[in-house]
Amino acid sequence: MSNAELISQDPGWIIALKGLIIFAACVFLTIMSVWGERRIVARMQQRSGPNRVGKFGLLQALVDGVKLALKEDLIPKAADRIVFVLAPVISTTTCFMAFAVIPLTGEVNFFGHTTAMQLTDLSVGVLYVLAIASVGVYGIVLAGWSSGSTYPLLGGLRSSAQVISYEVAMGLSLVAVFIYSGSMSTSEIVAAQHDWWNAVILFPSFLIYAISMVGETNRAPFDLAEAEGELVGGFHTEYSSLKFALFFLSEYVNIIAVSALATTLFLGGYHALPGLNFTEQWLGGWFTLVWFFIKVLAFFFVFVWLRGTLPRLRYDQFMKFGWKVLIPFSLAWIMVVSTLRVMSQRESPRFLIIAFIFSVAFIYIGVTSLSDRSKAKKLADSKITNITQPDFPVPVIPNSEVEQLNG
């Protein structure tokens, strides 16, 4: 039975209980992921990280939460009070809503009922997640505007521009998945990946999604909305106490949410790794939850890894990358995927399909080599030669003859 049929038979109390469990799991996962991030980043930077409160510092995030709650709650004089309070509320409520359509397990035994750990199954589930994400941006933008000071405003503006641009790329990367799976429902997309993961078949889409999900969650190296070197704290500069804690919470829940969506769309969802399919029946089907969380936490690790490794991008480079690289590339990729899809549905002769693939590859190589050549020409033109050296020592001008002589 498919997940959609299983869920539609749920009585009310199961739905309520599931909602509660998903909410509690999100909060717990957030607390643990804050601890995990600090430990992993510390290890990458040759430090120990939090290790005082509880075993391995496991309770550190909990203690930090209590500390935040006990701090003084300030509202700046210049702030727009209603919007200032509303912003963290919007941010937090929306980030939890995305989990309603994510299938966490396959068929499981839930207190004697056969059901699946998925709150609801919409026929346009993935679009629903995008819609919720786009409402969630309001939290950040309104926080920036309502604070009534410059840094938050700049942070809010940056983040709105950023999220709009990267949502376009993200949406386009999902189109290929929809075309290939023939559905926009999360559970059907998981079912369509029974033989091959989408990450393998639609690797370019996976790559684009993975990049744009970092941009979408405002995380390093794309965390320009809260770039502490330029904007102090960005949109949440003026927030303190529990209101800040809500932003903190929503940032981490968002990371888990986009990771869960990536798992569902590209990594086979709750299914086991290839070759380990027998484990899916363990614990009455509940072992699929373990697989799901292993994949989600792998994504989370990559998020932390990126933060520990890459420097922040400059804002204009970041926007250029989104609009001039990701979006045109994904548009071209969608054309290729849909052509192949129509070809396979019409049962075109095999040589035609192969010829199409080869011609696409040929065009790709041609275009990239041409652009490389023009870049190299530009670089050669921009070289400065024959500078008369003054008599006193000056720093070496890049690309001058002296530098080339010195190597």
Partner 1 sequence: MINLALDVGTTAGPESVLFYLLAPLSVLASLGMLLVKKAVHSALLLAWVMVSLAIFYIAQDALFLGIVQIVVYTGAVMMLFLFILMLVGVDTSDSLEENIKGLRPIAITAAIGFGGLLISLIGRATFNRPTIGFILANAGGNANGIAEQLFTKYVFAFEVVSALLITAALGAMVLAHSQKSRSQFAQRDLSIARFRKSDLKDAAGLPGPGVYALHNAVDVPALLPNGQPAPSSISAVLQARGDIIESSKYQLTQEEEEK
Residue 199 to residue 186: CA distance in whole angstroms: 15
The residue written with tokens 């990239």 in the block is 368
Residue 145 or 222 with smaller CB distance to partner 1: 145
Residue 42 or 122 with smaller CB distance to partner 1: 122
Tokens found for residue 35 = 């601890």
Which region among 145-153, 203-211, 233-241, 260-268 touches partner 1 (by CB under 8 A)?
A: 145-153
61-78 in b/e burial notation, b at 16+ Cβ within 10 A?
beebbeebeeeeeebbee
Residue 347 to residue 74: CA distance in whole angstroms: 66
Q: Which of 14, 58, 161, 297 binds partner 1 (CB under 8 A)?
A: 161
Which H/E stretch holds residue 125? helix 125-146
Q: Which of 41, 63, 80, 339 binds partner 1 (CB under 8 A)?
A: 80
Query: Is residue 153 near partner 1 by the rule CB under 8 A?
Result: yes
Residue 130 or 357 with smaller CB distance to partner 1: 130
Query: Is residue 223 near partner 1 by the rule CB under 8 A?
Result: no
* Binding residue count for partner 1, defined by CB under 8 A: 36
Query: Is residue 160 near partner 1 by the rule CB under 8 A?
Result: yes
Q: Are 9 and 2 in contact (CB under 8 A)?
A: no
Residue 184 or 246 with smaller CB distance to partner 1: 184
Q: Are 86 and 142 in contact (CB under 8 A)?
A: yes
Please give the C-alpha separations between residue 325 and each of 65, 137, 169, 197, 203, in angstroms, as whole numbers. 40, 23, 10, 25, 16
Query: Is residue 137 near partner 1 by the rule CB under 8 A?
Result: yes
Query: Is residue 135 near partner 1 by the rule CB under 8 A?
Result: yes
**Cβ neighbours around 4 below 10 Å, total:** 20
Site residues (CB under 8 A) for partner 1, limited to 174-193: 184
Which region among 44-52, 128-136, 296-304, 351-359 touches partner 1 (by CB under 8 A)?
A: 128-136
Residues lying near partner 1 in the complex (CB under 8 A) = 78-80, 83, 122-124, 127-128, 130-131, 133-135, 137-138, 141-142, 144-146, 148, 153, 156-157, 160-161, 164, 167, 171, 184, 384, 390, 394, 397-398
